A = this chain, B = another copy of it.
C-alpha cells in the first residue's frame, strides 16, 4: 500500500495537532452528484453498486475527484449488508425503503440467529481492498457498520421506521430475546469491522442511527453497551497504525458523557448539539465529528459560510475536531453548495490551529 499523503483526518480523530480542521461528508458519494447517478444507472440498482467492488470503488472516489478539499474517503456500502448476511433476506421495492423477507419476532427464529460466516460479506472486504488501492494514499479510508440496536430494529420490524414499537415491545417484555439478537449482532459487527480493517480500512465508524429513539435507561441497556462490546473487540492497531473508532448516535446528544466513556476515539454529533457545549461536556476524552445541519446546504453560499464560521468558532481553538454534516448530505443538494462549505472550512479553520 502507498504511504498516506494526508493523515489530517486520522490525526484529528486521535486528538493530535493538525494545521486545519479536516472534513468529510456523510453520504458524500451519493445522489446529489450527477456522476453518482450515472454510475447507479449503469449498475442497475443501489445494491448492485454495493455488491460490485468495481462500482463501489468508482463511486467512493467520485467526491474525492470533485472536491480536493475532502480529507477522508468512506467505503460505499450499506448498513443492511449485515442483517442480509445474517439470513434475513434484504430486498428493495421500487420507490420504497429497504425491507427484509424474514423478521425476528418468534422465539424459535431468534434462538436460531448466529454469527454468519464472514465469507458472505467478502464483497465488502474486496471493495475495501480495491478502494484502498485506488486511493493510492490520497486520504484515509473509513470502514463502517450499523450499531447492533439500529440493525436489530430492521431485523425485528422487517423495515425502517420511526417508532420501533415491535423492537421496544420485545425489549421491555422479553428482554432476553432482544439481548440475544443484540449480542449476536454485536459479535457479527466486531468480526465485520475487523475484517474491514484487515482489508485496509484506516478508521471505522459505528452508525447508531436509531439509538436516539430510546429512553435514557434503554439507550444504555440496548444500544450503548453493545457498541462498547464491539469497540472492546476491535483491532486497536493494524499494520503498525492506530485505527481510530468513531461512534455516532443520531439524536444521542443528551448522552455524550456516557458515549465518551465507551472506548471510542471520537463521537459523531448531529446538529441538535452545540459543538462547543459538547466539547465542554466530554473534555479531552474524545474527538468530536460534526455537526452542520445538511438542510443548510439547500440555502445559499453566504448562509453556508456563516454556519461554517459559527461551528468552527463554537468548537474553538485546538485539536480534536473533524468537520462533517450532522447527517447524510441530502439528494437535493447543489454540488456547488457542498463546495462552498468545504472551501469555507479550508479557509476559516487554520486560525483555530495556529500555535
Contacts and interface: CB of A to CB of B under 8 A. Distances in A.
Given A253-B254, A254-B254, A310-B217, A164 B273 contact: no
Interface in A167-202: 168-169, 172-173
Question: Which of A169, A295, A298, A299 is most buried by chain B, counting CB atoms within 10 A of its CB?
Answer: A295
Interface string A278-317: 0000000000000001011011100100010010000000
Contacts of A273: 216, 254
A164 B295 contact: yes
Contact of A215 (B216, B218, B254, B272): B272
B165 A295 contact: yes
A330 interface: yes
Contact of A299 (B169, B214, B251, B330): B169
Category for how many chain A residues contact B: 35 or more
A172 B271 contact: no
Nearest to A255: B272
A87 interface: no
Contacts of A296: 168, 172
Interface string A191-226: 000000000000000000000101111110000000
Contacts of A330: 163, 165
A355 interface: no
B272 A163 contact: no
Contact of A216 (B274, B298, B299): B274
A271 B168 CA distance: 13
A296 B169 CA distance: 6
A303 B218 CA distance: 13
Given A168-B293, A271-B215, A272-B214, A299 B162 contact: no
A332 interface: yes
Contacts of A254: 253-254, 272-273
23 contacts: A163-B295, A164-B295, A165-B295, A165-B298, A165-B330, A168-B298, A169-B295, A169-B299, A173-B299, A212-B272, A214-B272, A214-B293, A215-B293, A216-B271, A216-B272, A216-B277, A217-B274, A218-B293, A219-B272, A251-B251, A253-B254, A254-B254, A254-B273
Interface of A: 162-165, 168-169, 172-173, 212, 214-219, 251, 253-254, 271-274, 277, 293, 295-296, 298-300, 303, 307, 310, 326, 330, 332
